[in-house]
Copies of this chain bind each other. A is one copy, B any other.
Amino acid sequence: VSRREQVFWGWGEPGAGPELPEHAGAWLREHLGLSGEVVDRPVGLADVRLRAPALDAKVRERLAAVAEVRDDDEARVLRAAGKSYLDLLAQRAGNCEAAPDAVVAPRSAEAVAEVLRICAEADVAIVPFGGGTSVVGGVAPLRGERESLVSLDLGRLDRVLGVEGQLVRVQPGLRLPEADHALRGHGLTLGHFPQSYEWATVGGCVATRSSGQASTGFGRIDRNVVALRMATPQGELASREVPASAAGPSLREIAVGSEGVLGVITEVSLRARPLAAERRYEGFFLRSFADGCAVLRDLAEDGIAPDVARLSDEEETAASLALAGRAGLARVVGRLRPCLLVCGWEGDVGRRRREARRLLRGAGAFAAGQAAGRAWQRSRFAGPHLRDDLLDRGALVETLETAATWERLAGLRDAVAAALAGLHVGCHVSHVYPTGASLYFTALGRRDPADPAGQWQRHKAAACDAIMAAGGTITHHHAVGRDHAPWMEQEMGALGLDALRALKERLDPTGVLNPGKLLAA
């Protein structure tokens, strides 16, 4: 298999990603009380603990007749977890006891359907696996009372099926960079750039309602899905490929975001974007986070927001300048405590930018130039690579996110920051809508070696409770998975959750699809 694969204990192809710079050590010492030295290393594959595969031989044989089946340690360990902080803590320590019993990789939509039928019949749990980049336990191999669990790897369904104007049909296992590579010849891009871009698949993005860094301009993935096909144990659910319809509740919007709990997406029709002829990324300093939010709101209401709009709060601005080694600038920033706004314009730069700059000047913004924009562009996918380095150095490092209406945004930010007290917390607005915005938090701290998982779980639970109380959504773009499931009743109401469970019971009556996720109590 020549497909790119991640490392089981972290993010990148080893050595491929950016590393924490030398001068970061000082920041880690000052702000987190860490030595800056490597104090922890992931175990090697040989030292990982996992059980012998527990898949019935007859079932394995039936699956092997319709799909590639692997049960070697490497395949199983790589699909034993996603890429959250908690996942990496466990993986780095070689704790893969729950790894899937087999990895099943079909090559067609029909074979996916067949795998579902076989597993439903044999009561084998199925975890659909795209890029494996979930940070909410979305691919956690939870089998409940079941004896066996397989990882349904969609990596072999990776073709572009057709391009008609801006309408693009793809298979779910296609990774985002490969999708954009294939579309480039048509003058198109998906325009979808989550931080997981390097590994994420189109199907995974659709199943989790992903948002990319340019979603302010290009829209979340759910806004760009035109139609899809989804295999379920009861047959195929397919929405009609039309630009819009008034025919009842939206099947598309039931399948989108269903996280492998209702079915497995086997084909997606998407709206793609023309490649931008012109592109400009630049930075501005705002006097306060409140000033920045106010101007972003104005930009969004006026329909002239940049395609990428990211406003860091005072903490995050200071930390990122310090970590970028811009000590001089960081000192100035340390005194004035401004907030950095990165604006990225993709196509139609002139008019929007001109009008936006007028609004920004009116809000007292200070232009930081294209260098600030380019610096952000260079490091836009660096976070998860740097995290591996931070984990080596004994850090607690995790992110969480939410969204709210403009009126509730400031209160929401304060509430989450309070819930994360004791950690170093940076926050940014990363997606802007006419009616509100998302908030993204990065928490850093000194890992408690006695109970590293419990340490974060307590913070995370407090943050989620705070989000719910302050009127945010439990997730703007990380999805629900296992980790947010306990808050779904607050998110949807008891009846709303019950309604979704009714769908689950109809489409997956034996409950083999991704147990313990999304709709689990």
Chain A residues in contact with chain B, CB under 8 A?
164-167, 208-211, 220, 222, 226, 232, 234-259, 262, 271, 274, 297, 301-303, 348, 351, 403-407, 431, 433-438, 471-480, 484, 488, 491-496, 498-500, 502-503, 505-507, 518-519
Contacts and interface: CB of A to CB of B under 8 A. Distances in A.
A488 B249 contact: no
Contacts of A253: 249-250, 252-254
Contacts of A208: 246
Contacts of A236: 493, 495
Nearest to A208: B246
Pairs A-B, 9 closest by C-beta atoms: A253-B253, A243-B436, A209-B246, A243-B433, A502-B506, A245-B473, A242-B473, A250-B253, A167-B435
Given A435-B167, A503-B499, A478 B406 contact: no
Given A351-B351, A435-B166, A471-B241, A496 B251 contact: yes
Number of identical protomers: 2
A254 B257 contact: no
B503 A405 contact: no
A439 to B, nearest CB: 11
A246 B498 contact: no
A403 B255 contact: no
Given A236-B493, A435-B167, A496-B237, A404 B243 contact: yes
A507 B499 contact: yes
A164 B234 CA distance: 45
A242 B476 CA distance: 9
Nearest to A351: B351
Nearest to A409: B243
Residue from A259, A405, A476, A498 having most chain B Cβ neighbours under 10 A: A405
Contacts of A243: 403-405, 433-438
Contact of A238 (B166, B274, B496): B496
Contacts of A262: 249
Residue from A238, A404, A471, A499 having most chain B Cβ neighbours under 10 A: A499
A209 B242 CA distance: 15
